[in-house]
Homo-oligomer: A and B are copies of this chain.
């Protein structure tokens, strides 16, 4: 029997999963928390085989929670659970040491497979994102990967734009010249193929390049 703890801010979803697994599945959700902060405390009192972690949570998201766990010295396989197939989030999760990545619109058998593999420290990718990940690590220029070719600096610029800053404000915030900000913005617009900053922000949110909350 694989024991798991679920970290998700939606009680209904968590309780639903808990109720869904029967003994015949060989999986049991033994704990649930809405808050990443509480995880270390819970893990010190409860032995689990893996952590089922939602990425998109208020206050402390899945990525931040993973960092906390690493800092506290925990080494339990983590299966990331998310709604969006954002290459950036997948990348961040893997860099932080996640063992698997599955979408919330997966089916039960898929989740069972993901949990089973992850608990054995085998990697698991949901089929829907498999190709994407492949392409990314192969050529870094698949059809839907353009958005993820943005550099960290460019992402910063987008975040500033979404925050209502104009060229001057951004240049001051990032300690660079206004010229540079304009160059970055222009490059981003070219890469994302948009005509205005407004559309740029919309697309960035849509593709998960920046977060809203």
Contact = CB atoms under 8 A, between A and B. Distances in A.
Nearest to A159: B202
Contact of A16 (B9, B16, B83, B162): B16
Contact of A164 (B17, B107, B195, B205): B195
A201 interface: yes
A13 interface: yes
Given A164-B195, A196-B161, A196-B197, A12 B202 contact: no
B196 A105 contact: no
Interface in A174-213: 194-202, 205-206, 212-213
Contacts of A91: none
A156 interface: no
B11 A105 contact: yes
Contacts of A9: 105
Nearest to A34: B105
Contacts of A164: 194-196, 198-199, 202
Q: How many copies does the complex hold?
A: 2
A206 B212 contact: yes
A5 to B, nearest CB: 16
A140 interface: no
- Which applies to chain A's interface (DSSP): helix, strand, loop or mixed? helix
Nearest to A8: B105
Instruction: Give 6 nearest A-B pairs by CB, closest first.
Output: A16-B16, A164-B199, A19-B20, A197-B198, A19-B19, A162-B202
Interface of A: 9-13, 15-20, 83, 104-108, 111, 161-166, 194-202, 205-206, 212-213
16 contacts: A11-B107, A11-B108, A12-B13, A12-B105, A13-B104, A15-B20, A18-B20, A161-B198, A162-B198, A163-B202, A164-B202, A166-B195, A196-B197, A197-B197, A197-B198, A201-B202
